[in-house]
Structure 1
Amino acid sequence: MFQADSSTIGRALYANNGAATRLLLDLPSGAGKDVYYFTGLGNGSVLFSNSDDTAGRELWISRGTTGSTRLLRDVNTGVAASNPGSAWDLAVRPGGGTAYTSRYQRIGGLVLFAATTAGQGREFWVSAGTSGNTRILKDHMPGTASGVGAGPAEFIFSNGAFAIYTVRDSVRGNSLWATNGTPSGTRFLKTLTESRAPQPFGILGNRILFSQVNRQELWITDGTVAGTKMLIHFSNFQAIQNVSRVKGTTYALFSAYTPTTGKELWITDGTVAGTRLLKDINAGAADSLPGSYYRITEYGNDGAYFKIGDRVLFPATNAAGGRELWATRGTAASTLPFTQLGVGVNGAEFYEFTTLNNRLYFAADVAEGSTRVIRPFVTAGTATSTRKLSTSLRVSGRMVSLPNGVVFVGDDPSGNHRLWRTGIIAGSQVAVSPILAKFASIQNVEIPSPDGVNAPCPVN
């Protein structure tokens, strides 16, 4: 699903299954009328935030058809908005303006989100996709006071089995909590000493990694008080930059700063003894910035680490080759570059990433003659498998994976803006949408295809 503008009807909500694009909902124009936070329930339904003149900004649902796209529940009854999800994320986009980041998180067949009501303030809610089962999770500040956003910054992150979130609680004060989406499975983890959200965050097996104390401490939790522990403390402010969310490994990667090494690649196995510098990729005090990248249409620096085969791939910079893709098996000796997309020390800049069938698809800004152009690429993690997929299409927006290929927002040589589907063969791109403009919030979620088979669908 995605929002875009067309020359005929203006702003609208669309769905695409990798083969065709269909209109779901005509949207009003004007500031604050965007749709965002698309999150699949795993059963073909997608929840998202939308605004109309009757209910304000509320929780909506769709199954990928016009008839199924509707208001799910007016959480804050009447025209007053509940603003499900979050307020503005004030991160600055590379091209200017501000960006939204999704504050809907899925736990099994539930979606967890913050919402505001007149009687209970702003608290966390859950929904399984019906009006009746959309309910408040816990009223941390009974009465009209808000538990969410009143103390620590509004924050929530899920590993699929449980989520952690921050609130101001009437008993515990500013605190970190864990939940499986049920009231009985919601528990206090630790007191917070700062208002900053405990990000960046990552995944290691069935546990969640998060930061504390101005990103100087890396912590791990299994959702219990006893299993919530600090792994390492750095002396410098905002030392921890990003953390991997890779499943199927016995370790997690993260970027951390020290005065002697700069921002470099670290590793943890979830123990204090196993949390250490993996490799000083850009030797000395210079930064290699492992895992950092920019999205084309919104700010993104949330950890570009991807497991392909038995290695984890990520972008990094060194003095010899500039910024390229690297791979590791979790040892210093196996941490090596495998691409040379740039010339000499100039390297490339990376923007979009997605995976499909054990391959990594990405967008990279590379030199073509005297200019630099963002092109689509694919790799299986080796130099010989890394190829540019098009020399005519310019990637101009999000890139997402579907069962039948990877879809991305791209411009043809005439500057026409639409969705394209690509496989692993160079020049195999097919247009799968009409010419549109101002694509927004595209991500892959589950929406049933016309034959009734669930298929991920790009959404913004």
Structure 2
Amino acid sequence: MRWWRQLSVVLALLCGCATSPGGKPPPEGNGPPPPVPDTLPWTPCGRTAIPLGPAPEESDRGVPEMVDGERALFFVAEAGATGQGVWASRGTRGPGSCLVRVLSPGPTGLGPSEATRVGNRVFFAAEDPEHGRELWVSDGSAGGTRRVKDLWPGKTGSEPQSLLEYNGLLYFAASDPEHGRELWRSDGTDEGTVLVQDLDPGPEGTSPDRMTRGGDGALYFLAHFQGLSTVLMRSDGGPGAVELARVPSEGGILESLTTAGRRLFFVMGHLHDPEMHLMATEGGAPTLVSMFAQVGGMAALGGQLYFSATTGKAGTDAELWRSDGTEKGTQRVKDLRAGEAGSAPGGLTVMGNRLFFAADDGTHGRELWVSDGTESGTHLVMDLEPGAGSASPAELMVAQGNLFFSAEVTGRGREPWVSNGTAEGTVPLDELAPGALSSDPRRFVRAGEDVFFTAADGTGTRKLWALPLRPQGQCGASASWQALRRDVVTSAR
């Protein structure tokens, strides 16, 4: 993590501003946190999140543009009437959120997006009036926040997308007049930003996307040829990418590439076949694992793939399944809701050696469940909305052995919650929007010694918030996990 500590130093200096835009004074000093033994468990410090200023922008996928680091958060947000800006925050250890640099609005008015950390810098796509949307980079300082290269000269812009860190470099899809939309990589310099391979020579382009690091260390991605074929490619990061599978674009490869152990899993569809094909590869030709009516929600645990799948023709009996990449080793974990309805598992999230998810067993409504991969070890964590009503947990995220999520219960609306994986340790944080109003928390991200997220206050204004998360014994007795659990577990029931 040495490279991120370098960025942390810069961000710490930037966040020495005297005031916090829209935020409250931090509850702690600005000094660096004391050394922490790796063996100590981490716990939330109380249940009160602190507002830190403007909420990060949301991408076209509805995901806030936030990048976590060891001691700071890097994000994109509004910068007053001037448009968007690059921001940094040290959360409750610092004075709130600090504006690093204002970015001038471009031809489309769209804000920066796809912030991706590579080494001691953060890359993102942004536009300006003269160059359109191009690749930018930031080291956390105003002077170090700059356009990397004008790949498509003029106002058109190369439209960088699908940014991914791979072997210390940034890989992304972008367009230029000569090659169309192809795979590029960058080390953050003009001369080090180069075309990796022109998969379809000429200006047509293959629009690479869904870039993923496989269990074998290779780079996998999808390429699209002339609107007719979708191709799974494997690359060592240089020219000479190998084609592993080709399917018609209609139907195509439908579910994100997911690594579990040494296998890469994906779902393949066909226009004239109603069934979905769960496929796997270890670097060679993909093999058929199993067939389902529908497949989704993939997560890796213990070298196996966990996912939601339906087997009935109606496509409504979704339950939790697991696979080791073989037909025999692909099994339903548990039939939580017998019959055609299905429990519809969603939000699959791994914490330690267990999988947490939301599901509806037909009795308790849609609630929080946990599984160790066995039928007997798959059970309800807690009925947050007692009875048939649903709390509908969402936005699940793990930070240092703590599960953060949003849930909606009567009288409280949708608010933030935290769990240590037990019923007794599943508790709500303080309401950010009072009464039945909902703050609708989104995108929990751990950075440094805080968990950040966006949420609306009582006026409906969405802000960036942070909850202190510290090693055991460093919160103070009044704000320890034990105190949090004691104070709210009764009311939570």
Name the TM-score class by shorter chain.
Answer: 0.7 to 0.9
Amino acid at match of 2:352: G
Q: Distance in 2 between matches of 1:33 and 1:17?
A: 26
Q: Distance in 2 between matches of 1:412 and 1:173?
A: 47
Matched, 1:110 2:169: yes
Contact 1:55/1:79, CA 8 A, preserved across alignment: yes
Aligned equivalent of 1:262, options 303, 317, 320: 317
Q: Distance in 1 between matches of 2:264 and 2:478?
A: 40
Aligned to 2:23: none
- 1:71-86 aligned at under 5 Å gives the runs 71-85=147-161
Residue 416 of structure 1, CA deviation: 4.6
Residue 280 of structure 1, CA deviation: 1.4
Matched, 1:142 2:205: no
With structure 1 as the length reference, what TM-score do the two structures score?
A: 0.77
Aligned equivalent of 1:359, options 394, 398, 402: 402
Overall identity of the aligned pairs, in %: 30
Q: Distance in 2 between matches of 1:47 and 1:7?
A: 23
Matched, 1:409 2:454: yes
Count of matched residue pairs? 383
Contact 1:193/1:213, CA 8 A, preserved across alignment: no
Aligned equivalent of 2:390, options 344, 347, 351: 347
Aligned to 1:231: 289
Matched, 1:398 2:475: no
Contact 1:253/1:268, CA 8 A, preserved across alignment: yes
Aligned to 2:102: 26
Q: 1:10 to 1:58 in 2, by over 3 A?
A: closer
Matched, 1:183 2:239: yes
Aligned equivalent of 1:66, options 142, 145, 149: 142
1:308-348 deviation digits (Å, cap 9, x = unpaired): 23211111111111111111111111111111111211121
Aligned equivalent of 1:324, options 339, 363, 367: 367
Specify the SS of the correspondent of 2:406.
strand
- 1:63-212 aligned at under 5 Å gives the runs 63-85=139-161, 103-148=162-207, 154-159=209-214, 161-168=217-224, 174-184=230-240, 186-195=241-250, 196-212=252-268
Tell me the C-alpha RMSD between the 2 structures.
2.7
Which stretches in structure 2 are left out of the alignment for 5+ residues?
Answer: 1-73, 434-438, 470-474, 481-493
Amino acid at match of 2:192: N
Q: Distance in 2 between matches of 1:80 and 1:412?
A: 39
Amino acid at match of 2:265: L
Aligned to 2:88: 15
Residue 9 of structure 1, CA deviation: 4.5
1:141-177 deviation digits (Å, cap 9, x = unpaired): 112221227xxxx54333483332222469x964211
Residue 59 of structure 1, CA deviation: 0.5
With structure 2 as the length reference, what TM-score do the two structures score?
A: 0.72
Q: Distance in 1 between matches of 2:401 and 2:172?
A: 31
Aligned equivalent of 1:422, options 467, 476, 489: 467
- 1:298-313 aligned at under 5 Å gives the runs 304-313=347-356
Matched, 1:286 2:345: no
Specify the SS of the correspondent of 1:281.
coil
Q: Distance in 1 between matches of 2:391 and 2:331?
A: 28
Amino acid at match of 2:304: Y
Q: Which has the higher helix share?
A: 2
Contact 2:160/2:173, CA 8 A, preserved across alignment: yes
Contact 1:106/1:158, CA 8 A, preserved across alignment: no
Q: 1:168 to 1:418 in 2, by over 3 A?
A: closer
Amino acid at match of 2:283: G
Aligned to 1:38: 115
Specify the SS of the correspondent of 1:104.
strand
Aligned equivalent of 1:383, options 423, 426, 433: 423
Aligned to 2:50: none
Q: Distance in 1 between matches of 2:448 and 2:84?
A: 27
Aligned to 1:219: 279
Specify the SS of the correspondent of 1:313.
strand
Contact 1:210/1:218, CA 8 A, preserved across alignment: yes
Q: Distance in 2 between matches of 1:427 and 1:284?
A: 48
Aligned to 2:11: none
Which stretches in structure 1 are left out of the alignment for 5+ residues?
Answer: 86-102, 292-303, 430-460
Specify the SS of the correspondent of 2:382.
coil
Q: Distance in 2 between matches of 1:144 and 1:274?
A: 45
Contact 1:200/1:242, CA 8 A, preserved across alignment: no
Amino acid at match of 1:110: L
Contact 2:397/2:444, CA 8 A, preserved across alignment: yes
Residue 188 of structure 1, CA deviation: 1.4
Q: 1:412 to 1:15 in 2, by over 3 A?
A: same
Amino acid at match of 2:279: W
Amino acid at match of 2:419: T
Amino acid at match of 1:15: A
Contact 1:36/1:50, CA 8 A, preserved across alignment: yes
Specify the SS of the correspondent of 2:76.
strand
1:249-286 deviation digits (Å, cap 9, x = unpaired): 13221111122871111110121210122111122111
Q: Distance in 2 between matches of 1:326 and 1:44?
A: 37
Contact 2:229/2:249, CA 8 A, preserved across alignment: no
Q: Distance in 1 between matches of 2:254 and 2:460?
A: 41
Q: 1:255 to 1:427 in 2, by over 3 A?
A: farther
Contact 2:357/2:368, CA 8 A, preserved across alignment: yes
Contact 2:131/2:156, CA 8 A, preserved across alignment: yes
Q: 1:156 to 1:305 in 2, by over 3 A?
A: same
Q: Distance in 1 between matches of 2:204 and 2:384?
A: 54
Aligned equivalent of 1:2, options 36, 57, 75: 75
